[in-house]
Amino acid sequence: MTTTATYDLFLEACRLDGCPICRVEHDADLRYLDRLFYGLVNDYNTRVGLRTSLGFCTEHARMAVDEIQGKALGVTIIYDDLLRVALEQISSNGTIQKNKTRCPACENRDEMTGRVLSELSKYITDAPILAAFKGSQGLCFGHLRQVLEHIRSSEKRNALLTIQCDIMQVLRGELAEFIRKNDYRFAGEEFGPEKDAWKRAVKMGKR
Taking residues 43-68, report their average pLDDT: 93
> Which pLDDT value is given to residue 207?
74
Q: What's the confidence (pLDDT) of residue 8?
A: 96
Percent of the chain surpassing pLDDT 90: 80
Q: Mean pLDDT over all residues of the chain?
A: 93
**Percentage of the chain with pLDDT > 70?**
100
Task: For residues 78-82, give the mean pLDDT.
Answer: 93
Judge whether 201 and 171 are in contact, CB under 8 Å: yes
Res. 110 pLDDT band, cuts 50 70 90: very high
Half-sphere CA count of 52, side-chain side, radius 13 A: 9
Helix 20-39 to helix 141-150 angle, to the nearest 10 degrees?
Answer: 100
- What mean pLDDT comes out for the span 28-40? 93
Q: Which helix H or strand E contains 34, and what residues bound it?
A: helix 20-39
The pLDDT value given to residue 1: 61
pLDDT of residue 189: 84
Residue 71: per-residue pLDDT:
87
* pLDDT tens, residue by residue, 89-98: 999 888 888 8
Q: What is residue 206's predicted lDDT score, i.e. its pLDDT?
A: 81
Q: What is the DSSP string of 53-99?
A: HTS--HHHHHHHHHTSTT-HHHHHHHHHHHHHHHHHHHHHHSS-PPP
Is pLDDT at 184 greater than 90 in this prediction?
no
pLDDT the model gives residue 148: 96
Compute how many other C-beta atoms are within 10 angstroms of the C-beta atom of residue 104: 20
181/194 Cα distance (integer angstroms):
10
pLDDT tens digits for range 122-150? 999 999 999 999 999 999 999 999 999 99
**CA nearest neighbour of 82 among 57, 107, 58, 48:** 48
Residues 6+ apart with CB under 8 A from 204: 19, 137, 138, 139, 140, 141, 168, 171
pTM: 0.89
Q: Strand locations in the chain, DSSP E?
A: none
